[in-house]
Structure 1
Amino acid sequence: MIPNFKAHPWHGIPVGDEAPNVVNVFVEIVPSDTIKYEIDKQSGYLKVDRPQQFSNIIPALYGFIPRTYCHDEVLKLALESGAENVSTGDLDPLDICVLSSHNIHSGGMLMEALPIGGFKMIDKGEADDKIVAVMKGDHAFGHFRDITELPQAEVKRLMHYFLTYKNLPDEPAKCTIHEVYGAEHAKKVIQASQKDYANKFGG
């Protein structure tokens, strides 16, 4: 009898046959979470990163795209866009937040999403892009194809979270958003992170 093994969410699951137009997403945290979870890179299990501080709760599903990595190719895109004070990718899988009208209660799951844009975030000298996507087939968000089609309030909610989620109230901002970009550039970031993954891990 051959034992069944759980695939590692980062290394054992494909990006998706239709990437970068449709990508697989491993969801780590959901809007109702008061704890920030993240993948344990060694085991592939979710682990507690830290309690969420104050009222800065993620306004969308949040996780990463499997078999991606943010290093030299992602850095190159940041520099080409004019970002300053950045010297490397963040050496993690590519982050993605997924808009959905559905009340999903917990992370640790896979879903398909359509990238519609993103934020070129710089965090302590690291290019830490945040891809914005919509859940495939979602009846309220699934028809959006570019971040410019979203209500500005939705974009600002996401930006505010990423600019403040690491900060205490009396601290200066630790992160900056160099630009908000649309679907075309988001797909370039995904492809760059796939190249970085191949260069780091092969395949």
Structure 2
Amino acid sequence: MIPNFKAHPWHGISAGENAPDVVTVFVEIVPSDTIKYEVDKESGYLKVDRPQKFSNIIPALYGFIPRTYCHDEVQRLAIESGSEDVASGDHDPLDILVLSSHNIHAGNLLMDAIPIGGFKMIDKGEADDKIVAVMVGDQSYGHFRDVSELPEAEINRLQHYFLTYKNLPSEPSKCRIDLVYGAEHAKEVIIASQKDYANKFGG
């Protein structure tokens, strides 16, 4: 009898055979969550990172692309696009937001998404890119192919979350967004993070 096992969502699942055009996403958090969950890197299970202390609500499905890692190659891209003070990538899998009109009640799931852009976020001197994507087949967002097609208010809403979610009230932002980029650069970031993964973990 073959024993049951759970593939590690970071190391044991592919980014998708059509990556970076369509990527597999492991969703950790959904907009209704008042707890920030993240994958425990050793076991692969979701764990509680911290309760959300204030009114900040994640504005979209949030997770990471499997078999990615943000280090030297992601740092290089950040510097080449104008952020000269970046010391490294953030040593985590590549973060991704997935826009969808569907009310998904909990994370810990996989979905296919189409990258349409992203934010070059710098957090304490580290490149912490946030890829923006749409869920494949979504009737409201699924036709978008570049972040420039989104309403400006939507882009502002996404940026505002990342610029404020770590802050106490009236504190200055602990991070910054240097660039809002489109689909082509998002794909370059994904490929860079896959190279960083291969350099770190092999394969």
Percent sequence identity over matched residues? Answer: 80
- The answer (yes or no) to whether the contact 1:53–1:165 under 8 Å persists in 2 is no
Q: Which runs of 5+ in 2 are unaligned?
A: none
Question: Structure 1 stretches of 5 or more lacking a match?
Answer: none
Deviation sequence 1:76-96 (CA, Å, 0-9, x none): 000001113210000000000
Secondary structure in structure 1 of the residue aligned to 2:160 = helix
Counterpart for residue 96 of structure 1: 96
Deviations for 1:132-171, whole angstroms, at most 9, x for unmatched residues? 0000000000000000000111111000000000000121
**1:107 aligned partner:** 107
| Equivalent in the alignment of 1:131 | 131
- Determine the structure 1 residue equivalent to 2:161: 161
Question: Separation in 2 of the partners of 1:193 and 1:59?
Answer: 24
CA RMSD of aligned residues (A): 0.5
The separation in 2 between residues aligned to 1:81 and 1:53, in whole angstroms, is 34
TM-score using structure 2 length: 0.99
- Give the Cα separation in 2 of the matches to 1:164 and 1:67: 28
Structure 2 residue identity aligned to 1:132:
V
2:15 matches 1:27: no
**One-letter identity of the residue aligned with 1:177:** I
Counterparts of 1:11-50 in structure 2 under 5 Å? 11-50=11-50
Offset from partner CA, 1:42-92 (integer Å, 9 cap, x none): 000000000112111101000000000000000000000111321000000
Q: Does 1:189 align with 2:189?
A: yes
- 2:82 alignment counterpart: 82
- Aligned partners of 1:73 and 1:192 also within 8 Å: yes
Q: Distance in 1 between matches of 2:80 and 2:136?
A: 31
Q: Secondary structure at the match of 1:111?
A: strand
| Contact 1:20 1:115 survives alignment (8 Å) | yes
1:72 aligns with: 72
The one-letter code matched in structure 2 to 1:162 is F
Name the aligned partner's letter for residue 162 of structure 2: F
Please, what TM-score do these two structures have when normalized by structure 1? 0.99
Secondary structure of the residue aligned to 2:188 is helix
The alignment partner of 2:27 has SS state of strand
| Amino acid aligned to 2:147 | I
| Contact residue 20 and residue 187 of structure 1 kept, 8 A | yes
